[in-house]
Amino acid sequence: MLIRFSLIAVCMLQSALAFCQSTDRYTIIPRPAQLEARPGEFIINHTTTISLPFSQTALKAIVDTFAHQLNRSSGLTIALRNTSKASQENRDTGSNLIQFLPSRDTTFSEESYRIDVTDKLVTIEAANPKGFFYAVQTLYQLLPPAVLGHGGKGMGRGAQGTESLLPDQNSLPHTPRPMPLTIPACRIEDRPRYVYRGMHLDVSRHFFHVAFIKKYIDLMALHKFNTFHWHLTDDQGWRIEIKKYPRLTQIGSHRSETIIGHYDDYDPQVFDGKPYGGFYTQADIREVVRYAATKYINVIPEIELPGHALAALAAYPELGCSPKSLSNEPYRVSTKWGVFNDVFCPTERTFAFLEDVLTEVMALFPSQYIHIGGDECPKTVWRKNAFCQQLIKRQKLKNESELQRYFVIRIDKFVTSKGRRIIGWDEILEGDSPKLRLSPKATLMSWRGIKGGIKAAQQQHDVIMTPGQFCYFDHFQGDPEMEPTGFGGALPLAKAYSYDPTPAELSPADATHILGVQGNIWTEYISTPDQAEYMIWPRAAAMAEIAWTPLSLKNYDDFTRRLAIHFERLATLNVNYARTIYDAIPTAKPTPEGKVEVTLSNENPSLSNSPGFPPPAIRYTTDSSIPSGESSVYEKPFVLEKSAIIRTATFLNDKALSQLAKVRKEFIVSKATSKPYTLLNAPNSSRPDKNYSLTDGTTAGMGGYEVAGIVSFKTDINVVIDLGQLELVERVRIGFLKYTAKNFCLPKQVEISVSEDGKTFTSVLTARTNASENGKRAIVRLPFDFAPTSVRYVRVIAQNVGQVPAGMRTPGKAAQLAVDEIEVR
């Protein structure tokens, strides 16, 4: 499902999208604050010179890297020239010159920049190296996407020893032919909307090597992010070396195995049986921090407390509230996902440990901020522990929530005493009381919606907005049935782009505490770099625009137009981005004639504003084969006269934009299709019947936690289908949901009865089924065959087993039945 571009595929996409470069000359993401388009273009060729004051070493490093990339991608040899005086009063007016001018403009912030492009001169102005750095990222996006390429493979070294996504020029097998590069004429005045523009990566659930971290940082820099939030510890792994506590990595960085699929996908749960581990040495940490600094990215470490502590407790059990876990077993690094009751115990030994850990962490990370977690801390063990209860009384706390606040404040005071500031998830506001006040410098990350952020800002705390419904990129971005395994929930690109981080409920004064926004990537179900990139991009590009671009300039149609060329950049950088916006999703409805009408649709972004240029074409097959450039073109809804598996793909000029072999959906046509029926037992209100959904021809979707398109029952299923006229019938096939971890069992028995008048029914089949079948959740289509019979009415009685059978995860619980489609043939 995760399909990486081959070199051929890249070339195909470049050809398919080449037309955009003539009409969409400014495809910059994030969109600049001001852009004045001009006719003409500046051509970089063998006569081009780049000038700058060499005495400004930070600027010199930026320009060295820029020139190195131009030369490497084009085969040119562009010279750098030193300018002794490079103020606005001393502009160089030479021909075919790119000049970098430090500015004294007092209106510039440290991240502001100005670019002026004519056919003879490119002028870049900024008051700070950060501004010049972001100006260069814009120049890369004004240039053709090929400027980010190289002509070779592998990792290499860029200017001044900084690692690059691309190989060193000397490593190439041959010198590329010199290639002119063009910059469209324009004037850009730009600055960011927010001071904090972050991306997060969880390396605790799955570990990612330093090479991937650096590539991630490179991509962040191209999109003008300035903060990397590195989630280093959790229940499933401790990933940072702490010299004073070596068992944290000797024991805490390794788990014995890893659960397969979602928590409830299998009954019983299935594990891969493979030991899993990995951690970053302190040398690794320093290297990443140093590298990020060259990209003007601040790295914020996260050390989780007081919850999400199992990996630490496995290494040092004395930090828990008892020598063993609540299950009376030794603490172990978790092999499952979720929230666990075993947490740090608030003893002096624990606080000494955490202070030691944070001291080493602060020595590695120069960041002003240290993230201490603070989320999802169950209180079960504290309620049962005598020491915790005595501590609550001694500190005159009301309850365990105030004990968590006490815990966080202890850490807050320690971090503040070292001249740093804490960030915590929004739970750090819980247990608030007049005597339990966080430091005014404590910053909150609002993830459970926006209410926590609003409350914190109103209390004059700085806030970073990162609500899950807009900012969690481990959620599905397309149809869950067709996407790689995700955490759950839907976050399509359009929804991610729609987010405004500043809540309307805040006053202008309180709104100043909204520092910015962050995209998060949790990795329970993301185990490889390819899959991580697929989940991150292009949603992170949308987040970049949210964080940088003025709200008044945000426009999704315009964003997707620019994204078409941006995809070409990502392909050049060997990024496994998702093309879900091009997925053509089939939906269907039954026709009165007993057939199924299928509609195909996608987000269909505008790739060009050129009048008369054809839009992308959706192609499809009905025989389960992968669509090609020769497959049928979708123009309007079409009718299926028999059951079929539909596959779709989106093409431009016969070149695939969407990922082939991805979109697949089964539709069923039978004698029951579109026929009315009577449910003699009412379905559950949580999964009701909607407009005769058991005979609408649409099968259930199995992606995500929830199963879409089913009707569920707490009792037996008792349904009578009216075929409308006498029909010769010999088979009934029913799609039952088997999801025993959620108490959905197959029926104990199924009886099929038939009638000509709807009053007198004759049983034609009674079949026992395997209600004890567990295993992986699925829609199980059970066929029931009998002698051909002429009937008008078909009654199905599926008998509920009553209780979940022994041997399953929830034995004795009330069992349910669920059905997606009933076929009659």
Mean pLDDT of 413-428: 97
pTM of the model: 0.92
Q: What is the pLDDT of residue 172?
A: 34
Pairing of strands 632-633, 638-640: unpaired
DSSP 253-288: TEES--B-SSTTSEES--B----EE--B-HHHHHHH
Tens digit of each residue's pLDDT (9 = 90 or more) over 255-285: 999 999 999 999 999 999 999 999 999 999 9
Q: What is the pLDDT of residue 24?
A: 75
Rounded CA separation 468/491 (Å): 9
Which residues are CB-contacts of 90 (< 8 A; sequence separation ≥ 6)? 83
CB 257 within 8 A of CB 276: yes
Pairing of strands 121-126, 113-117: antiparallel
Residue 376 designated active-site: yes
In this structure, how many other beta carbons lie within 10 angstroms of the beta carbon of residue 282?
Answer: 15
Q: What is the pLDDT of residue 177?
A: 58
Cis peptide before 538 (omega within 30 of 0): yes
Q: Which two tokens stand for residue 476?
A: 């599905």
Strand partners, 585: 601
Cis peptide before 180 (omega within 30 of 0): no
Choosing from 376, 430, 666, 773, the catalytic residue is: 376
Which residues are CB-contacts of 773 (< 8 A; sequence separation ≥ 6)? 738, 746, 780
CATH of domain 34-190: 3.30.379.10
CB 126 within 8 A of CB 56: no
Rounded CA separation 601/242 (Å): 52
Greater pLDDT, 23 or 304: 304
Of the candidate ranges 101-105, 245-249, 418-422, the one whose mean pLDDT is the lowest: 101-105
In this structure, how many other beta carbons lie within 10 angstroms of the beta carbon of residue 587?
Answer: 13
Q: What is the pLDDT of residue 92?
A: 65
Tens digit of each residue's pLDDT (9 = 90 or more) over 566-605: 999 999 999 999 999 999 999 999 999 999 999 998 876 5
Tens digit of each residue's pLDDT (9 = 90 or more) over 221-265: 999 999 999 999 999 999 999 999 999 999 999 999 999 999 999
Q: Could you tell me the end-to-end alpha-carbon distance of the chain, in angstroms, rounded to an integer? A: 34
Q: Which two tokens stand for residue 512?
A: 């100043």
Cα 249–Cα 307–Cα 443 angle in degrees, nearest 5: 100
Q: What is the pLDDT of residue 84?
A: 75
Q: How much of the chain exceeds pLDDT 90, in percent?
A: 84
Q: Tell me the domain boundaries of the chain.
A: 1-27+466-507+528-667, 34-190, 201-205+237-374+407-462, 677-824
At the fourth CATH level, the homologous superfamily of domain 201-205+237-374+407-462 is Glycosidases (3.20.20.80)
Q: Which CATH number fits domain 677-824: 2.60.40.1730, 1.10.260.40, 2.60.120.260, 2.60.40.10?
A: 2.60.120.260
- Produce one character per residue of 750-768: b if its CB has 16 or more CB atoms within 10 Å, e if not: bbbbbbeeeeebeebeeee
Mean pLDDT of 203-209: 98
pLDDT-derived band at 616 (thresholds 50, 70, 90) equals: confident
Question: Do 201-205+237-374+407-462 and 677-824 show the same overall fold?
Answer: no
Q: What is the pLDDT of residue 179?
A: 67
Mean pLDDT of 636-658: 93
Rounded CA separation 570/553 (Å): 23
Least Cα distance to 372 among 341, 333, 402, 411 occurs for 411
Rounded CA separation 409/205 (Å): 27
Rounded to whole angstroms, the maximal C-alpha distance in the chain is: 102
Cα 685–Cα 691–Cα 696 angle in degrees, nearest 5: 115
Rounded CA separation 411/421 (Å): 10
* Amino acid (one-letter) located at 356: D
In this structure, how many other beta carbons lie within 10 angstroms of the beta carbon of residue 156?
Answer: 18
- Produce one character per residue of 527-552: b if its CB has 16 or more CB atoms within 10 Å, e if not: bebebbbbbbbbbbbbbbbbbbbeee
Cα 748–Cα 753–Cα 757 angle in degrees, nearest 5: 150
Rounded CA separation 438/459 (Å): 10
* C-alpha torsion sign, points 282, 287, 292, 296: positive
* C-alpha torsion sign, points 519, 466, 248, 338: negative
Q: What is the pLDDT of residue 1?
A: 42
Mean pLDDT of 803-815: 96
Orientation of helix 400-417 relative to helix 386-394, angle to 10°: 70
Q: What is the pLDDT of residue 704?
A: 77
- Is residue 209 over pLDDT 60? yes
In this structure, how many other beta carbons lie within 10 angstroms of the beta carbon of residue 316?
Answer: 18
pLDDT-derived band at 205 (thresholds 50, 70, 90) equals: very high
Tens digit of each residue's pLDDT (9 = 90 or more) over 429-480: 998 788 899 999 999 999 999 999 999 999 999 999 999 999 999 999 998 8
Rounded CA separation 461/165 (Å): 38
Residue 350 DSSP label: H
- Is residue 81 over pLDDT 60? yes
3-class secondary-structure state, position 291: helix
pLDDT-derived band at 14 (thresholds 50, 70, 90) equals: very low
- Is residue 152 over pLDDT 80? no
Tens digit of each residue's pLDDT (9 = 90 or more) over 724-762: 999 999 999 999 999 999 999 999 999 999 999 999 999
* Amino acid (one-letter) located at 539: R
Rounded CA separation 527/547 (Å): 28
Mean pLDDT of 476-502: 93
